[in-house]
Amino acid sequence: MALDLLLYAPLALPAAAALACAIFGWRTWTAWAGVATAAGQLAAAIALGPHVVHGTARTAAGGLLRADALTAFILILVSAVALIATWASVHHVAAEQADGRMSPGDARRYGVLVHAFLTAMGAAVLADNLGLMWVALEATTVITAFLVGHRRDRAGLEAAWKYVVLCSVGIAMAFLGTVCVYATALHAGGHGTTALNWTFLTAHADRLDPAVIRLAAGLAVLGFGTKAGLAPMHAWLPDAHSQAPAPVSALMSGVLLSVAFTAILRYKVLTDAVLGPGYMRTLLVAAALASLAIAALLLISQRDYKRMLAYSSIEHMGIAALGAAAGTRLAAAALLLHVLGHGLAKSVAFTSAGQILHHTRTSRIAGVRGLAAGRPALAGVFGLAVAALAGLPPFPLFASELGIARSTVSAGLGWALAAALALLLVIFAALARHTTSMLLGPAPGPSPTAASVPAAGAVTPLVLALIAAAVLGTALGPLQPLLGAAATIVGVP
């Protein structure tokens, strides 16, 4: 019974917070209740780890919900970023309301949608059924479209429509892939909706039609790759992430991309069992190099710091795809550590960028100068977050990128690694140039349009997230067994 509660908690807690916001509106206590539910999600995800770390999957709700080590690890990522984003939302909404940019109705809608978004992501991670996973990921598109266009201005509405159209095309391709898997599973002895259950598919992989699985895997990479921000299906991402509220951008970049990428990993495990590793390796290497190339080319001349962070997300999904292409257990461990480190660092980067935008009233890189002199605490967290995203120690991306590089060479993909390293050097230089131009120099004089200074407490969750990331970058501690067990599911020895 207690174990069942751990599987229900990632769904029930954010759903309860959404209901509270819907009934009572955005109030101080409902805002902090949302933070408390995110903390409860994180506690449940951590408590679930020891139950699945030895390879035994746990189920609930008649088999609809299933948790293995990979599920528990991704749930920790989702709930950790959710805690940062909901905590930051308390101050974000307060600042927006103080400036007259958010009405009580807008704040109510914001609270409901954010927690509904967290519920949908929890369902996508916990779903044993591939069809249910698809439904949950489609629900995230519908929910976040309203968040992207929450200001109802021209730029926000254009970004929301672009997001809906492109992601709907992607999710339609993923649906066709799911249908293909269902068709071949029925021929393999499946019955009803259980034919799409992960447990059935992995147990009967030898009976699945290779030609159908080949088609399904290609559609899944294209479809879920659209949600994950992999090139060439990435075009929605810079607009949506730059227009969404900063805490929502943190959730979309920090966890939505990783949850969608987890769906690709599930399909990869199944496809490798049927076809061998070569097919998915080719698809993922192509997506990885295309993503890195797009990020490098567009970061060089980038003029908007929120879009800069969005293109950085495409870069990091490309690195994760390269790790998945290598396919070894070490590569799987490295890419899972990578998405965790990226989620923590990107949530800090986007939420601090939101505070910079609130203070300066501009998202233009050229419009922000001398931040270190004028707002040293805010400059510190933003600069450290970008340093973490650039792969500098002691943050986790340093270790994860080394692990992915080593695994890529071991897998015979040295040529791909060489191309990736050249592109990463360009990306590092672009990030360093843009960020230093914002942080350094004399502090500008007071602007007549400058907003009030964000509350000191707004920086607190960001500092805690950076500390957590630095700790994970030096010693995984109790998380190491869970990471190893999750890597065993995704990679091969």
DSSP class per residue in 84-128: HHHHHHHHHHHHHHHTT-S-HHHHHHHHHHHHHHHHHHHHHHHBS
Pick the range with the lowest mean pLDDT from 198-207, 385-394, 419-428: 198-207
Interval 402-429 mean pLDDT: 95
Average pLDDT over residues 89-107: 90
Confidence of residue 1 (pLDDT cuts 50, 70, 90): low
Whether the pLDDT of residue 477 is over 50: the answer is: yes
Share of the chain above pLDDT 70, in %: 96
Residue 455: band (very low, low, confident or very high) from pLDDT cuts 50, 70, 90: low
* Amino acid letter, residue 264: I
The confidence score (pLDDT) of residue 493 equals 60
433: confidence class by pLDDT, cuts 50, 70, 90: very high
279-302 average pLDDT score: 95
Give the per-residue pLDDT at 63. Answer: 81
pLDDT score recorded for residue 475? 86
Distances, alpha carbon 100 to alpha carbons 243, 409, 447, 451, in Å: 18, 54, 19, 11
Burial class (CB in 10 A: 0-12, 13-18, 19+), 82: buried
23-44 pLDDT tens trace: 999 999 999 999 999 999 999 9
Distance CA 70, CA 488 (A): 9
Q: What is residue 423's predicted lDDT score, i.e. its pLDDT?
A: 97
Q: Nearest to residue 413, comparing CAs of 487, 312, 491, 328?
A: 328
Name, in order, each residue with C-beta under 8 angstroms of 330's C-beta and a sequence gap of 6 or more. 403, 406, 407, 410, 487, 491
Question: What are the residues whose beta carbons fall under 8 Å from the beta carbon of 366, sequence distance 6 or more?
Answer: 303, 437
Task: Please tell me the number of Cα atoms within 13 Å of 118 on its side-chain side.
Answer: 40
Query: DSSP secondary structure string, 337-375?
Result: HHHHHHHHHHHHHHHHHHHHHHHHS--BGGG---HHHH-
Q: Taking all residues of the chain, what is their mean pLDDT, rounded to a whole number?
A: 91
| Predicted local distance difference test score (pLDDT) of residue 456 | 58
pLDDT for 465 beyond 60: yes
Residue with tokens 């349009």: 449
Residue 475 makes CB contacts below 8 A (sequence gap 6+) with none
pLDDT of 450 reads 46
C-alpha atoms less than 13 angstroms from C-alpha of 285 in its C-beta half-sphere? 20
**Residue 447 above 60 pLDDT?**
no
**Per-residue pLDDT averaged across 359-375, rounded?**
89
Average pLDDT over residues 279-297: 96
Flag the least confident range among 209-213, 225-229, 487-491: 487-491
**Is pLDDT of 452 > 50?**
no
The tokens of 326 are what? 């290598």
**Confidence category of residue 235, pLDDT binned at 50, 70, 90:** confident
**pLDDT-based confidence at 241, cuts 50/70/90?**
confident
pLDDT at 3: 75
Structure tokens at 71: 């599920």
pLDDT at 341: 96
Residue 286, pLDDT > 80, answer yes
How distant, in Å, are the alpha carbons of 166, 253, 399, 417, 484 from that of 244? 17, 11, 31, 33, 35
